[in-house]
Structure 1
Amino acid sequence: MNISYLSRPEGRIAYTVQGSGPLLVAIPGMGDLASGLSRLAAELASAGYRVAVMDLRGHGNSDTSFRLHGDQATGEDLLALIEQLGGAAVVLGNSMGGSAAVWAAVERPSAIAGLVLYSPFLRNPASGAFAQTMIKLVYRLLFLPPWGAGLWSSLYRGFNKGRRAPSLPEHVAAIKASLREPGRLRSLRELAVQLDHQVVEDRLADLKTPGRVFIGQSDPDFSDPAAESAWMKGLGLRAELVPESGHYPHLQRPELVLPATVEFLTELRQTGLWGANA
């Protein structure tokens, strides 16, 4: 599949497009690759959608020249990509990709017709400011050569609690190989240090975009996945727990998540507010 590029002030964002129909844009999470969304994208393209999948700043095939990272920076890239491709779009985001999608939906509601979020972070963990500062200091040490690429790959594998996709070993190897490319581990480290979901939480009261949320029942990134799901329901989002799944429910339980995603997209199209002329 051909890789295209979106020009941004500090570098280029890589993305691919497949299929035809109403526009979907998919965003991976921190330390992940766009290729992790390839099965989801292929299935949705076959279901009648034009699916763009973007790499985060400094990740995959995107440039490593970016100095700014995080939810807002990614959200701004997302809005620029939708404008380049012609929107409005429904955005599918995993982890911080979901965080960025929510920020963008509040920033420019006309560009985003719906949200499908897979284990998104819509607020910082309730561990306190001091603990978060210490975690960021640890990130500076963990994501250094020569051990950083291998360590993150091992952590990524551990985030897949529950059932594991058959493609997981291959995907983990691709992440590890990518992080060994010049500048990529530095970009991951800078993202981890800069990432602050407060920019999303501060704007949640203004979120009006319809959304469907899937959280892994065993997601190790949440101290209480059920409580996080309930909290998101309180925001007006349709949230549900995905059994036998960790931080990547769309990969770990596609037989559950993909049909529910398509069902939500169909409902949005039936409103006539999105995809009518695609």
Structure 2
Amino acid sequence: MAPLLVIPDGTVSYDVHGPADGPTVVLVPGLGDLRSSWRDLVGPLVDAGHRVVTTDVRGHGDGTHGFTRHGVEPTADDVRELLDTLDVDAEHPAVLVGASFAAGAVARVAAQDPDRVRGVVLVAYAGNGEPAGRSVRLQIRLLLARPWGPRAWTGFYRSLLRGRKAAWTDAHLADLRRALRDPAALADVRALALALVGGGHRTLLGQVTRPVLVVTGTLDPEHPDPTAAHAATMAAVPHDAVTGVLVPEAGHYPQHQRPDVVVPALLDFLAGLTTRGDVTRGGVA
């Protein structure tokens, strides 16, 4: 049974892998996904000596359902609570890795609590600052409704997997569909989706003072031009300690579509934080 993070509105499930005294890396998935989506990164990170924490977002996975707040800001609050539980402090800061909207959430944590963050990794970054049209909101309400919602969501997830796919993709989609058969779980995914397309979220990426790695799939259908979106994300970082990896043959989930590219890039980024000593209290050296 996964441990549960207790927050004011309920509980959030997470797992801890690797040595208790290793440098902490926290991995946060995106909308409608599960912490198991990071499975191909966990082993290599543990082998490199890291304490690896994979967490669900509120309303997903094995935690409670029925949350009233969803989006970038509540997810950032939950990540901060998790850092408290993990005893992450200025002496033992963590690297935060987020996917899609959760990339914005971990950027927000780094901007607001830099002393506890060594670096930030943005995978398929989504800012969710601008609202979508009314028709998009209506489509979400219709698609993520019972009884077809679980199948509709996994169909949409599959559409974002342009390029290569992991050998375990079908099993993962089955897990997602099974989880969403719980009406309360489906309601939380729908509420989060509606909150995100409503816009107005503030990732505070322009205030991040820690080193940043940006990872983008070249086939990501969430962007009309993924390469341009990748460049824009990198340009939004307000300092020069930012590196980027465009991942070929990958869509919105490069972490499990191309772990052969993402894992070495992440390990290089982590090693650079250790050897260059980029992180100082309050900023980038």
Q: Could you say which residue in structure 1 is the equivalent of 2:158?
A: 157
Q: Structure 1 residues 133, 104: closer, same or farther in 2, change over 3 A? A: farther
CA distance in 1, matches of 2:278, 2:84: 17
Query: Equivalent residues in 2 for 1:233-272 (5 A)?
Result: 233-236=234-237, 237-272=242-277
Aligned length: 268
In 1, are the aligned partners of 2:162 and 2:220 still within 8 Å (CA)?
yes
Q: Could you say which residue in structure 2 is the equivalent of 1:199?
A: 201
Give the one of 92, 116, 122 matched to 2:121.
Answer: 116
Q: Could you say which residue in structure 2 is the equivalent of 1:224?
A: 225
CA distance in 1, matches of 2:206, 2:212: 14
DSSP-derived class of the 2:133 partner: helix
DSSP-derived class of the 2:118 partner: strand
Identity across matched positions, percent: 35
In 2, are the aligned partners of 1:17 and 1:51 still within 8 Å (CA)?
yes
CA distance in 2, matches of 1:197, 1:121: 11
Q: Structure 1 residues 273, 242: closer, same or farther in 2, change over 3 A? A: closer
User: Could you list the runs of 4 or more consecutive aligned residues of structure 1 that deviate by over 2 angstroms after TM superposition?
Assistant: 122-125, 131-134, 196-201, 271-274
Q: Could you say which residue in structure 2 is the equivalent of 1:58?
A: 59
- The letter of the residue matching 1:120 is Y
Note the aligned Cα RMSD (angstroms). Answer: 1.6
Could you state the TM-score of these two structures normalised by the residue count of structure 1?
Answer: 0.92
CA distance in 2, matches of 1:260, 1:197: 31
Q: Could you say which residue in structure 2 is the equivalent of 1:13?
A: 12
Cα deviation per residue 1:110-167 (whole Å; 9 max; x = unaligned)?
Answer: 1221111210113446xxx4x4333122211110000000000011111110011111
Cα deviation per residue 1:162-217 (whole Å; 9 max; x = unaligned)?
Answer: 0111110010000000100241000001101112554335x333121211011000
Could you state the TM-score of these two structures normalised by the residue count of structure 2?
Answer: 0.89
In 2, are the aligned partners of 1:117 and 1:211 still within 8 Å (CA)?
yes
Q: Could you say which residue in structure 1 is the equivalent of 2:50?
A: 49
Q: Residue 221 of structure 1: CA displacement?
A: 0.6
Where does structure 2 lack aligned partners over 5 or more consecutive residues?
280-285
In 2, are the aligned partners of 1:215 and 1:247 still within 8 Å (CA)?
yes
Q: Could you say which residue in structure 2 is the equivalent of 1:106?
A: 111
Where does structure 1 lack aligned partners over 5 or more consecutive residues?
none
Q: Could you say which residue in structure 2 is the equivalent of 1:90?
A: 95
CA distance in 1, matches of 2:37, 2:264: 18
Q: Could you say which residue in structure 2 is the equivalent of 1:4?
A: 3
CA distance in 2, matches of 1:102, 1:141: 31
CA distance in 1, matches of 2:250, 2:83: 30
CA distance in 2, matches of 1:210, 1:62: 31
